[in-house]
Homo-oligomer: A and B are copies of this chain.
Amino acid sequence: MNAEIITVGTELISGKTLDQHSQYLSRECYSLGIPVYYHTSVGDNDKHLYDVIQQASLRSQLVFICGGLGPTDDDLSKEILARFLQEELVQDSEVLAHLAKFFAKRSGSIPPNNFKQTYVFKNGVVFQNQHGTAPGLAVTKNNVTYILLPGPPKELQPMFETSVRPFLMQLLSNQSVIVLRDLAFFGIGESRLEEVLYDLIQNQSNPQIATYALDAGVILRLTAFATDQEEAQRLITPLEKEIFRRVGNYCYSTKNESLEEVVFQSLNQQKKTVAFAESCTGGLTTHLLTIVPGSSKVLKGGLICYTNEIKSSLVKVPEEILETHGAVSFQTAKWLAENTREQFASDFALSITGVAGPESVENKPVGMVWIGLAEEGKTTRVYQLDLHGSRRRIQLMAAKYALFILQQRLKKGEPKK
């Protein structure tokens, strides 16, 4: 079985909005062992969409159609598919009840335009929409299965998780359960990770292994097909163990958490607080941690000391240190971290000072970054990084490395498993 994805909307082909569904659904299909061969975007145009669906029916056994399920006149995906398949649409009482409830919370009664959303394929399957009004639909004809999904990402993705993936598992029928495990890595590049795990990636078919690059870091996705959860675990556990034996140091999460969330949880569990002194990152490191709700429990704050004047006046780095070694140095990173920890009376403090570019500073190359980690009653550790890429890239990687260094430290603090 191979699939293709059709996204519908004039806003896509006019360049107003970026299609992100095709990437999301391709990854999910790949995890299910279903290859995707084509992505197509087409406008809210009767004829164009009809032609695209017709063509898909000739070359794919699974066809996703995203968008065009809304209440307005130019939302035509369902109607055009019904016409193409010569399949009847009937009103669904469950969807009708859902819409009544949905609008009761808001305007009161169902707006006239929305009634078309209560019509579904007579011989099809309905996926209830927990986050909007348009249900998802599936219908199979001539050995091709068509899956219609609502356009808004906040509706499409939960619907896929809760309803579509199980539906596809049944369709694949040869498997009864699938278990996904996403291992999140930082500090090791995608290519290096594939190199170290080459034999596993090549020889594994079940569990399957795939890598996906993040803005900073890499996801390693393990996908196990099995008859039950237990068997899936039996398949995943030894593979995961072997992966951890080789590159475990670089793995910060196995539960779809961001690095920031992991740092927050570790600090929170260990009842520790942190503060930051940021130079080249200009506040990004601290901000990343504040993206996590409740971060005020562990974060005291930070000092953005962008000039040497502020480094000495507010963070109290001795001027001779700045004169002798410069702002981008082991010594300055050390002082920044220690003084910040004292001023904020926090358990940990990290400092980030470096050259983000495009110009070199103090004859130090672009990408040179020093990170200090100060801790009450412990010797301050200082790490040197040699980063590459644009100014923004260097700032992001420096900030993430600071959080990763803290996470590594907190990991050690936990009891060995």
- A residues near B (Cβ < 8 Å) are 12-20, 22-30, 36-43, 45, 48, 52, 55, 212-213, 276, 278, 280-287, 289-291, 293, 295-296, 299-307, 309-310, 314, 343-344, 356-359, 391-392, 395
Contact = CB atoms under 8 A, between A and B. Distances in A.
Contacts of A48: 37-38
A19 B395 CA distance: 25
A300 B291 CA distance: 24
A287 B291 contact: no
Nearest to A309: B300
A291 B339 CA distance: 26
B286 A282 contact: yes
Contact of A37 (B28, B42, B305, B307): B42
Residue in A12, A55, A303, A356 with the greatest tally of chain B CB atoms within 10 Å? A303
Contact of A286 (B40, B42, B300, B304): B304
B22 A20 contact: no
A39 to B, nearest CB: 4
A22 to B, nearest CB: 7
A411 B190 CA distance: 46
B302 A283 contact: yes
A309 B28 CA distance: 46
Contact of A43 (B20, B37, B296): B37
Contact of A278 (B16, B30, B283): B283
Given A12-B39, A13-B26, A39-B12, A301 B314 contact: yes
A39 B359 CA distance: 40
A319 to B, nearest CB: 16
A307 B301 contact: yes
A24 B15 contact: yes
A391 B293 contact: yes
A150 to B, nearest CB: 19
Contact of A23 (B18, B284, B300): B18
Given A16-B213, A300-B307, 16 more contacts: A13-B38, A15-B27, A15-B29, A38-B42, A39-B40, A39-B41, A40-B40, A282-B283, A284-B287, A286-B306, A290-B356, A290-B395, A296-B307, A301-B303, A301-B306, A302-B303
A76 to B, nearest CB: 15
Contact of A358 (B24, B293, B307, B391): B293
A158 to B, nearest CB: 15
Contacts of A391: 291, 293
Contacts of A299: 282, 306-307
Residue in A15, A41, A284, A303 with the greatest tally of chain B CB atoms within 10 Å? A15
What are the 5 A-B residue pairs with the smallest beta carbon separation, nearest first? A283-B283, A282-B290, A15-B26, A15-B27, A39-B41
A305 B307 CA distance: 19
Contact of A305 (B17, B52, B301, B305): B301
Nearest to A31: B15
Contact of A14 (B30, B40, B213): B30
Contacts of A309: 300
Contacts of A356: 290
Contact of A291 (B289, B295, B395): B395
Contacts of A283: 276, 278, 282-287, 290, 302, 304
B302 A304 contact: yes
19 contacts: A12-B39, A13-B38, A16-B213, A18-B18, A18-B23, A19-B22, A37-B43, A38-B41, A39-B40, A278-B283, A282-B295, A283-B283, A286-B304, A295-B306, A296-B307, A299-B306, A301-B303, A302-B306, A314-B343
